[in-house]
């Protein structure tokens, strides 16, 4: 049962009682008729008792009309009092009307006055039985109070016609009573039905606004609650909107099943709710996204709350014996700093969330107007990257890697270039991350390897080609096969291909990564550890995987970090490389001094603008043939 009968009865009763006061016009008209009739009768009869009763009736009638029009407007606090006042007025009016009619008979007034008064009283009583059917006791009480004096006086009169009048009025009473009760029943059931359907509609609306998995507001509910919350907002202070997105929730759903996924969502909801402690608005925005809105004193408080929320979600989950770690990214936008309406705020938080994710997840990001520009550019790149390959806008450039002892080119690193018809040359740093995010890197990477292998096949046999691999590429199914195919098609021996990977690939050691590296290494492909020194710089995996080269990041060579310490680092790495039979490449060499420095520190190979920028394949071939014609004099350190 959705609603208790008592609850319905109460509301029905309330509605029915209201009908008493909502028709002051009918009350006024009845009162006017009563006053007129009784006044006329009083003049005809000129009986002090009748005159007195008439005056009393006029007072009561005026009071009732005044009460019914004024009191509801004044807003009486206790409706029960209003009801009692109404009842007292109604009963006394009904009794006075009946009494005056009876008196006209008793005092043998003019027959016309008798007819006028009795007709008026009986008409009034029957009318009231219908009008007040919403309150049957009141209606019947009024009718009886009018009838009784008439029946008594007419019944005790010796005149047979009056006796007959008494009988017919007495018979009229039960008839009218049953009509009143019937009307009451019909009224009650129709009001009750309306009430029930209104409650049902309310309940449906609640369900439509609630998320079944977490019990929080869903998107529709959130929209509603946010709008309401904002409307009630006090001026001053700030209003913050947090947009949370669970990191890699899809993986959990896929690997552990939707039931576990749902349990995690419910637990996340519980933690967030506990943190908010009934303040603010909290909802699930579909999938693995949650939105929180609340008021705060200042930005500092918002920052603290954001970090607390992040901590809450990042705490280990225990679901059916399993321990599950899940990260979360949070985007935050605030009123009035970042906008002045809900829509702008939502967009701001969404953009900030996107930044938190792009910057490596498990973090909070506050909205900043520059984010929108970045985002627009990213979205454009995302859309156009798909077409870039077909439109022939991409090409591979080659940068020589030079032997620091002889000055001879030992390899070329393949670096992708995008010449956009409108935006000009786009840097790989700008579009490679986008390609990784959308998965386009897999196709793009295969194409790059194929192009690089094709170019390298035309070079002398002792020159190798280095290709950068993104972690996403390695995780894609059939990654190793794609590379071996490219080699076969270009007829390039696997030994002449070197794959540059960064530490991040090795950080989350999966079987996939291991298989990928083993399979290619067995085929003869070599690996270089790229950007060394920028990440964790752990040397642990150097023992596990066979790397032919370590590339010391350019920040140690020409960047701001370059100096005594980096010199020492390069020295340490070179020493170790020597024992492990690896070569050390110094990246980003721009000056002759840097050449000398890195060579002294023990680097065997060098790469950088000092030697050459990345150049198109025909220029790479030309560099090689020039080199064969005359060996360049390498500047001595």
Q: Which residues bind ligand C2E (CB under 6 A)?
A: 399, 414-416, 427-429, 432, 445, 448, 468-470, 500, 530-531, 554, 558, 588-590, 607-609, 614
Q: Does residue 617 bind Ca ion (CB under 5 A)?
A: no
Given candidates 211, 338, 530, 583, which one binds Ca ion under the rule CB under 5 A?
A: 530
Beta carbon nearer to ligand C2E, 113 or 465 = 465
Which residue number, 120 or 502, has a Cβ lying nearer to Ca ion?
502
Q: Which range touches Ca ion (CB under 5 A), out of 30-38, 60-68, 457-465, 466-474?
A: 466-474
Q: How many residues bind Ca ion, per CB under 5 A?
A: 4
Q: Is 583 near Ca ion (CB under 5 A)?
A: no
Tokens of 297: 């004193």
CB 631 within 8 A of CB 408: yes
Indicate whether 245 belongs to the interface with Ca ion (CB under 5 A). Answer: no
From the number of C-beta atoms within 10 Å of its C-beta (0-12, 13-18, 19+), residue 320 rates as: exposed
Cβ-Cβ contacts under 8 Å for 260 (sequence gap 6 or more): 252, 253, 319, 320, 322, 324
Residue linked to tokens 């008798």: 114
Q: CA angle, 492 as apex, 578 and 469 as ends, to 5°?
A: 60
| Shortest distance, position 528 Cβ to Ca ion, whole Å | 8
Residue 21 binds which entry of Ca ion, ligand C2E, none, CB below 5-8 Å type-dependent: none
When CB distances to ligand C2E are compared, the closest residue is: 608
Is there binding between residue 120 and Ca ion (CB under 5 A)? Answer: no
Residue 195 or 503: the one with the smaller Cβ distance to Ca ion is 503
Q: Pick the closest to residue 333 from 357, 284, 283, 369 (CA basis).
A: 369
Q: In whole angstroms, give the CA distance from residue 205 to residue 201.
A: 6
Work out the number of other CB atoms within 10 angstroms of the CB of residue 119: 12
Q: Which is nearer to Ca ion, 552 or 623 (CB)?
A: 552
Instruction: Kindly state the smallest distance separating residue 349's Cβ from ligand C2E, in Å.
Output: 30
Which of Ca ion, ligand C2E, none is residue 448 near (CB under 5 to 8 Å by kind)? ligand C2E
DSSP string, 439-455: TTHHHHHHHHHHHHHHH
Smallest gap from Cβ 534 to ligand C2E, in A, equals 9
Tokens 């980003």 belong to: 588
Q: Which is nearer to Ca ion, 384 or 531 (CB)?
A: 531
Kindly state the smallest distance separating residue 530's Cβ from Ca ion, in Å: 4
> Could you say which of ligand C2E, Ca ion, none residue 166 binds, taking C-beta under 5 to 8 angstroms by partner kind?
none
Shortest Cβ distance from residue 472 to ligand C2E (Å)? 9
Rounded Cα distance between 31 and 25, Å, is 10
- Residue 245: name its binding partner from Ca ion, ligand C2E, none (Cβ under 5 to 8 Å by kind): none
In the chain, the N- to C-terminal Cα span, in Å, equals 93
Exactly one of 245, 531, 583, 617 binds Ca ion (CB under 5 A); that residue is 531
How buried is residue 405: exposed, middle or buried, by Cβ count under 10 Å (0-12/13-18/19+)?
A: exposed
**For residues 119 and 213, what is the distance between their CA atoms, to the nearest angstrom?**
69
Q: How far is the CB of 272 from ligand C2E (least distance, A)?
A: 38
**Token pair 């022939």 in the structure block, residue:** 392
146/468 with CB nearer Ca ion? 468
Positions that interact with Ca ion (CB under 5 A)? 468, 500, 530-531
């Amino acid at each position: 049962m959705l609603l208790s009968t008592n609850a319905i009865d109460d509301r029905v009763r309330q509605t029915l009682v209201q009908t008493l006061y909502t028709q002051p016009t009918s009350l006024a008209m009845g009162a006017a008729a009563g006053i007129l009739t009784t006044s006329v009768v009083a003049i005809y009869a000129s009986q002090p008792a009748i005159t007195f009763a008439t005056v009393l009736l006029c007072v009561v009638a005026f009071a009732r009309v005044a009460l019914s029009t004024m009191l509801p407007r004044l807003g009486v606090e206790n409706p029960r009092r209003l009801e009692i006042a109404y009842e007292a007025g109604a009963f006394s009016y009904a009794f006075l009307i009946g009494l005056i009619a009876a008196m006209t008979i008793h005092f043998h007034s003019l027959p016309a006055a008798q007819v006028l008064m009795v007709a008026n009283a009986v008409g009034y009583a029957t009318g009231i039985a219908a009008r007040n059917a919403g309150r049957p006791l009141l209606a019947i009480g009024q009718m009886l109070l009018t009838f009784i004096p008439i029946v008594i006086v007419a019944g005790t009169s010796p005149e047979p016609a009056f006796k007959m009048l008494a009988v017919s009025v007495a018979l009229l009473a039960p008839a009218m009573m049953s009509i009143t009760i019937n009307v009451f029943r019909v009224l009650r059931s129709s009001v009750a039905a309306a009430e029930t359907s209104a409650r049902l509609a309310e309940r449906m609306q609640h369900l439509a606004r609630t998320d079944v998995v977490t019990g929080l507001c869903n998107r529709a509910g959130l929209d509603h609650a946010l709008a309401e919350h904002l409307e009630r907002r006090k001026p001053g202070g700030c209003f913050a909107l947090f947009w949370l997105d669970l990191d890699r929730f899809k993986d959990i759903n896929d690997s552990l099943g939707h039931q576990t996924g749902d349990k995690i969502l419910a637990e996340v909801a519980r933690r967030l709710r506990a943190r908010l402690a009934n303040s603010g608005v909290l909802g699930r925005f579909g999938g693995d996204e949650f939105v929180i809105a609340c008021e705060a004193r200042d930005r500092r408080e918002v920052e603290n709350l954001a970090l607390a929320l992040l901590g809450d979600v990042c705490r280990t989950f225990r679901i059916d014996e399993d321990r599950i770690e899940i990260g979360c990214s949070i985007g935050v936008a605030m009123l009035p700093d970042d906008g002045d309406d809900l829509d702008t705020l939502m967009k701001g938080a969404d953009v900030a969330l996107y930044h938190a994710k792009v910057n490596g997840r498990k973090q909070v990001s506050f909205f900043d107007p520059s984010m929108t520009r970045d985002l627009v550019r990213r979205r454009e790149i995302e859309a156009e990257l798909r077409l870039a390959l077909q439109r022939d806008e991409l090409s591979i450039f080659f940068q020589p890697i030079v032997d620091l002892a002889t000055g001879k080119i030992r390899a070329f690193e393949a670096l992708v270039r995008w010449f956009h018809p409108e935006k000009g040359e786009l840097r790989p740093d700008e579009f490679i991350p986008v390609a990784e995010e959308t998965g386009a890197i897999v196709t793009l990477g295969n194409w790059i390897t194929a192009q690089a292998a094709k170019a390298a096949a035309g070079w002398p046999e002792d020159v190798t080609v280095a290709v950068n691999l993104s972690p996403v590429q390695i995780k894609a199914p059939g990654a190793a096969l794609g590379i071996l195919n490219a080699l076969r098609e270009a007829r390039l021996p696997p030994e002449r291909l070197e794959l540059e990977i960064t530490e991040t690939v090795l950080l989350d050691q999966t079987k996939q990564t291991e298989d990928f590296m083993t399979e290619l290494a067995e085929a003869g492909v070599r690996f270089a550890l790229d950007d060394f020194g920028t990440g964790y710089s752990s040397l642990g995996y150097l023992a596990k995987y066979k790397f032919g080269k370590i590339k010391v990041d350019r920040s140690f060579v020409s960047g701001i970090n370059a100096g005594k310490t980096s010199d020492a680092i390069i020295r340490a790495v070179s020493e170790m490389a020597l024992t492990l039979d690896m070569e050390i490449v110094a990246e980003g060499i721009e000056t002759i001094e840097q050449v000398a420095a890195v060579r002294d520190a023990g680097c065997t190979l060098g790469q950088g603008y000092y030697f050459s920028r990345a150049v198109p394949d025909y220029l790479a071939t030309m560099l090689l043939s020039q080199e064969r014609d005359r060996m360049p004099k390498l500047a001595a350190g």
